[in-house]
Amino acid sequence: MSLNIIVLAKQVPDTRNVGAQAMNADGTINRSALPAIFNPDDLGALEQALQLKEKHPGSHVTVLTMGPRRAAELLREALYRGADEAVLLSDSAFAGADTLATSYALTTAICKIGKYDVVLCGRQAIDGDTAQVGPQVAQQLGIPQVTYVRKVQAVEDGTAIIERAIENGVELLKAPLPLLLTVDGTASPCRPRNAYRLLRFHRAATAQEQAAEGYKYSAQAQADEALTIKEWTLADVGGDASRCGLSGSPTKVKAVTNIVFKAKESKRYTADSEQIKSLVAELLANHTIG
């Protein structure tokens, strides 16, 4: 049985390699100082999708991202690794979205794609770290969801058998299709880019990129549908503007503070057991641990 699989992916600043210029004075992220990368958990989701495709020949993997136009880079990366089709959801109306508005926008795009058996996404993005978008999309689509997925073992007779990472082990679950899975960091790492696909898909571009000066693969793009990255606006997906972007976001940021730890705020403990006990008690009291 072939499957229609949608992978949700996000281009994020590389917060794993934060340098001195990473934050602006006002506490916001200085995106120009941090390279934009494929959110790591989303790469894990893509790998699960590609493994499913291998097990179910004829399956189709579509990668969907919402973001500014440069997020087309992320879609090309997904094509290099094995995705069949790429969709960029991009509109100024989506700007400033919190997780609810984001999941609404993604849901409208998924509905426009139409057929899907499995929606895969990373557990969370390394910039916001909310882990909310996946579950919210499942809710809005009205389909079951399994979070913290480590591996999709098998899909048969309209049911998926899934390994789910839990605190002290692995849970084995059975869930009906269509369903949404959020993949966590314990899943297999994503396969590398493939040389043949690099040579073919470095020509992949949105209509706007294709129209730009210097794009010389129009003939190839006309002959090879996969070379066109679909770019959809709010109007294309028929969304309700009031539920998108800032206006659709109930989350309001009150303030962002840049905290710099100073030496005088530090405390010193010796290795003596009384001191360690008092440290543990303090950490429990302020909910750092426990």
By the criterion CB under 8 A, which residues form the site for other proteins?
A: 191-200, 202, 216-217, 220, 224
The CA distances from residue 127 to 13, 29, 105, 181, 190, in Å, are 7, 9, 19, 20, 20
The 10 Å CB-count burial string (b at 16+, else e) for 9-48 is bbbbbbeeeeeeeebeeeeebeeeebebbbbbbbbbbbbb
Query: In the complex with other proteins, which residue's Cβ is closer, 1 or 199?
Result: 199
Give CA–CA dist 32/22, Å, rounded: 8
Of residues 113 and 217, the one with the C-beta less far from other proteins: 217
Judged by beta carbon, residue 195 or residue 289, the one nearer other proteins is 195
The least distance separating other proteins from the CB of residue 224, rounded to whole angstroms, comes to: 6
Least Å distance, CB 216 to other proteins, is: 7
153 burial via Cβ count (<10 Å: 0-12, 13-18, 19+): middle
Least distance to other proteins from the beta carbon of 84, Å? 13
Which of 143, 115, 147 shows the shortest CA–CA distance to 134?
Answer: 147
Cβ(86)–Cβ(122) below 8 Å = no
Which CB atom, from 70 or from 202, has the smaller least distance to other proteins? 202
| Comparison of 57 and 290: residue with beta carbon closer to other proteins | 57
The least CB distance from residue 120 to other proteins, in Å, is: 19
Q: Are 100 and 110 in contact (CB under 8 A)?
A: no
Token pair of 14 as six digits? 């590389």
Q: Rounded to the nearest whole angstrom, what is the least distance from the CB of residue 137 to other proteins in the complex?
A: 29
**Of residues 70 and 191, the one with the C-beta less far from other proteins:** 191
List the alpha helices (DSSP H) in the chain.
40-55, 72-81, 99-113, 133-141, 195-201, 207-211, 218-223, 234-237, 273-285
Nearest-approach distance from CB 192 to other proteins, in angstroms:
4
- The CB-of-244 to other proteins minimum distance in angstroms stands at 36
Of 197 and 243, the one with the shorter C-beta distance to other proteins is 197
Structure tokens belonging to residue 80 = 């290099």
The single-letter code of the amino acid at 173 is L
